[in-house]
Amino acid sequence: MTSTFSQWTLDVRDVDLMARFWAEALGYGIHPDDDGDGAHLRPPSGTSGDALTVWLQPSGGPKSEKNRNHPDLVATAGTAAAEVDRLLALGATRADVGQTGREGFTVLADPEGNEFCVLHHRSSR
């Protein structure tokens, strides 16, 4: 028996801001939590059953250092450069985590500073 990834959970300070950013970035729908504290982001209906959901849960403090894990995104249409530009327009910023410029990805941060990457090419499964 093995496990599989089901959901990416992120602690955030501003649930509404972050839900809007990540929903736009991923093309997901926002589904508020029943108790009103967090937000569940789900892929659009008709998406393959192995697409991760996203859970945004409130956190009391600000992010203070580099994430120990992060999502890697890939453009579903167009180029990686165009996707980076789209994400920057949504409120992402460029992040420097020590990359050399020769990597096959671009490092960005969401509006609260959580790093993520845009892969230049889809990885093989």
Instruction: Please tell me the predicted confidence (pLDDT) of residue 66.
Output: 83
Instruction: Please tell me the predicted confidence (pLDDT) of residue 82.
Output: 95
CB atoms closer than 10 angstroms to residue 116 = 22
For the four alpha carbons of 81, 19, 6 and 28, in that order, the dihedral sign comes to negative
* 104's tokens: 């096959």
Contact indicator for 53, 64 with CB cutoff of 8 Å: no
Instruction: Report residue 107 CA to chain centroid gap.
Output: 12
pLDDT digits (tens, 9 = 90+) for 62-74: 888 888 889 999 9
Residue 124 reports pLDDT greater than 80: no
Q: Which of 65, 58, 64 is nearest to 17 (CA)?
A: 58
The residue extents of the domains of the chain are 1-62, 63-125
pLDDT digits (tens, 9 = 90+) for 90-101: 999 999 999 998
- How far apart (Å, rounded) are the C-alpha atoms in residues 12 and 110? 10
Instruction: Please tell me the predicted confidence (pLDDT) of residue 89.
Output: 98
Residue at 106: amino acid letter: T
Q: Return the CATH number of the domain spanning residue range 63-125.
A: 3.30.720
Instruction: Please tell me the predicted confidence (pLDDT) of residue 63.
Output: 82
Contact indicator for 118, 104 with CB cutoff of 8 Å: no
Class of domain 1-62 as given by CATH: alpha beta
Residue 125 reports pLDDT greater than 60: no
